Structure 1
């Protein structure tokens, strides 16, 4: 059944990015990383699925949001956050289905106020001492050796954040079976051809090395057609026993997301050219579904110093006020809400995570924050505390993982003063003294000896001298 004819200009406008709304992203799937996710029609999704649209006040008062029909003023003007998301432009009732998009829009604004730089996740598979430097230095997602999608870059291919193949651990059993049937099995013949070429190159390299050690001329190059079936069968058997090399070959052939180091396998045939796991920051948890920055922050580093207008350069950044949303439960750390994001409490011996030895606290001088061990229902709005956001990264499911640390008491006082909750600039001995109205002294106070400063006595002496001098002059 043919549709209504559209003019070339109308078709161009429909497909133009200036006049069209991008297609919504799919529903976030429930992965093994977040088994406790509960789906709800009103819950805030881990990432926005629709574009957020706003309109100027002059147009909003007329119901004009740039679409084909005006919106009702009752639902679009009675709000202080004029952001909407279009779920469907035309419905069967000839109306536009829209909803508020203030949740993700305000979360983006609050996250940018934190001034947090996005970083790549740390690779715990490395055997170096990089784990000791992770608390001091975070690598930005905009570094040249990390922020690229080109496949033909040699050893740097494993550091990409975008791959043509899927992350196998994130797939369900049905998706995995479908991937095997439609993507893997049709490529068997091509993969066997590549294996024969690799075997021919390995045999040629081995023969050249033997001839060089014996002082003989290099033999002719071995081609893939020269490989017998027995040689190829033996090579396949050796690959099945050498899982590390096999994983590297399969991952490179299918362009899969990098795999972590296999557990329980001795890596005796690990090749620097074919190794994909050691240098990949996504070898353990998998790559993110979008750019590692997620478009929420474009800061390259968080190493900057804030300059206070009164107190000058600050050693600590301005902290953010966090709310305890989930108390400590067994080995799980308490959860804090910061700028619309839920993050783990800062680690270490602090007010969020008091360490004990038996029944005795290690640091008895540190006080415990209310709401950490149990839900605080007495404090208005819940228990709150100041924390400092250091960095953030995007996990494979699209959620923003925020890293927090405790802040100093001076930074907390400065932050409270900026909100008018305290005053520290004129507190203490530097506060100006305002004398009170003098009152009549009592009889006991008049009998007490009064202390007079040397300056006051000297003034009286000078007055007497001047007065006596004036009298002698007149006489």
Structure 2
């Protein structure tokens, strides 16, 4: 084995201290969904672009992070979150360009502590009110067999795919859309027209066979593409342009485009009867995610599990998370809450997060501080307990977390775990811890009892009844 010659690549891997680092992901694009995003060099990106690397303490003390040169101890040891991202292994200055990766690493740990199952987006436009209510209670997991699809195999199941070869047209800017037409669509025009001619020939053959069957005649020969005249094909194209549903279905299938939902001006019943990808696709309105719908941050399939408290036993409600009000309510825009490193909309409904003057909740419970105005007096900002129900990934790669109001009993138990209150105060069940030294009063009582016993023994048993 020692005498076998190895390739230059194999020798390089044997002598290298670093095996491989994946290529960084591209810069998150600005979409119409987030026009208000302001980019800066120090802002936290919607998703990590570089791999997060850590090293054990024994190696960090030597500056060893698995690369070919040691890192300075001053910048890597003076932190409680030893996570870095490599921006460039070798620069012109012969150094390794790295930065802290604690932002996304800690956000991942906090999100996994929430124990949230990722679900597919819910489109309420396609369902009735009863179905909408059921969907709010039971979300569809992204790991279901009929949802976790990547390849086009032909059939209605392909409508629920999350991965497409073509882009989502609603996300593209005007410049990107024009470039896509010039470089991707127009070169395929001849191929698409050939497919349309083949479809026309098949439709004519099917129609002739049906007429012959109804009249009891023998089926005519199959119509070939060469039998289609230019006049027939032109009339077919004109009819196809007027039938937008069929045209959209053919174009989307040919270019493998992400669904856009039903076209404007076409009723839902008519659209649902046709062979289209829009009605059954969960990404028709929100758009497909850029990666797997789980984004690799949670692999839970459902929220149907029960937590077990060490004192109170199985809990009917999950342990809530403490959220901070980061943005108050402004007009129709709901307040924003920060939960585990993610920003989400406040829970909807009649609760302390939605001030509705004159409502029963507003009168009985009041409105949380920081909802109607920015709270600058509370230390650390206004906070409240919420429960994370589910999360989805939008087309830009951001995690959209959905919250709901936490159960009052679960909030009390969460406060007790932090030492803010005490509810387990049943006296007989508490363990008795005797004091190290008895008090003076108990000592006097014990001394008097002993003196009485000594006196009884000296005087005899009969003297107990002779006392005045």
What TM-score results when the alignment is normalised by the length of structure 2?
A: 0.87
Structure 2 SS opposite 1:296: coil
Call closer, same or farther: CA 1:273–1:267 in 2, change over 3 Å.
closer
Structure 2 SS opposite 1:325: strand
Question: In structure 2, what is the equivalent of residue 75 of structure 1?
Answer: 75
Q: Deviations over 1:302-361 (max 9, x none)?
A: 1111111111111110000000000000011000000000000000000001223xxx33
Question: In structure 1, what is the equivalent of residue 98 of structure 2?
Answer: 98
Greater alpha carbon shift after TM alignment, 129-138 vs 167-176: 129-138
Structure 2 matches for 1:382-397, cutoff 5 A?
A: 382-397=381-396
Question: In structure 2, what is the equivalent of residue 45 of structure 1?
Answer: 45
Structure 1 SS opposite 2:149: coil
Partners of 1:88 and 1:10 in 2: CA distance: 23
State whether structure 2 residue 362 is matched by structure 1 residue 361. no
Question: In structure 2, what is the equivalent of residue 161 of structure 1?
Answer: 162
Call closer, same or farther: CA 1:268–1:398 in 2, change over 3 Å.
closer
Greater alpha carbon shift after TM alignment, 374-383 vs 364-373: 364-373
Is contact 2:18-2:67 (8 Å) kept?
A: no
Is contact 2:163-2:288 (8 Å) kept?
A: yes
Question: In structure 1, what is the equivalent of residue 458 of structure 2?
Answer: none
Question: In structure 2, what is the equivalent of residue 425 of structure 1?
Answer: 424
Call closer, same or farther: CA 1:157–1:45 in 2, change over 3 Å.
same
Question: In structure 2, what is the equivalent of residue 84 of structure 1?
Answer: 84
Partners of 1:266 and 1:376 in 2: CA distance: 47
Question: In structure 1, what is the equivalent of residue 182 of structure 2?
Answer: 181
Q: Deviations over 1:251-275 (max 9, x none)?
A: 0000111121001135787586731
Partners of 1:223 and 1:86 in 2: CA distance: 60
Call closer, same or farther: CA 1:183–1:233 in 2, change over 3 Å.
same
Question: In structure 1, what is the equivalent of residue 282 of structure 2?
Answer: 281
Question: In structure 2, what is the equivalent of residue 133 of structure 1?
Answer: 134
Gaps of 5+ in 2: 1-6, 442-460
Question: In structure 2, what is the equivalent of residue 121 of structure 1?
Answer: 121
Call closer, same or farther: CA 1:224–1:127 in 2, change over 3 Å.
farther
Question: In structure 2, what is the equivalent of residue 454 of structure 1?
Answer: none
1:221 CA displacement: 2.4
Question: In structure 2, what is the equivalent of residue 247 of structure 1?
Answer: 248
Partners of 1:236 and 1:396 in 2: CA distance: 34
Question: In structure 1, what is the equivalent of residue 219 of structure 2?
Answer: 218
1:295 CA displacement: 0.3
Question: In structure 2, what is the equivalent of residue 111 of structure 1?
Answer: 111
Call closer, same or farther: CA 1:83–1:313 in 2, change over 3 Å.
same
Partners of 2:38 and 2:227 in 1: CA distance: 59
Partners of 2:347 and 2:353 in 1: CA distance: 7
Partners of 1:431 and 1:251 in 2: CA distance: 69
1:199 CA displacement: 1.5
What TM-score results when the alignment is normalised by the length of structure 1?
A: 0.86
Question: In structure 2, what is the equivalent of residue 413 of structure 1?
Answer: 412
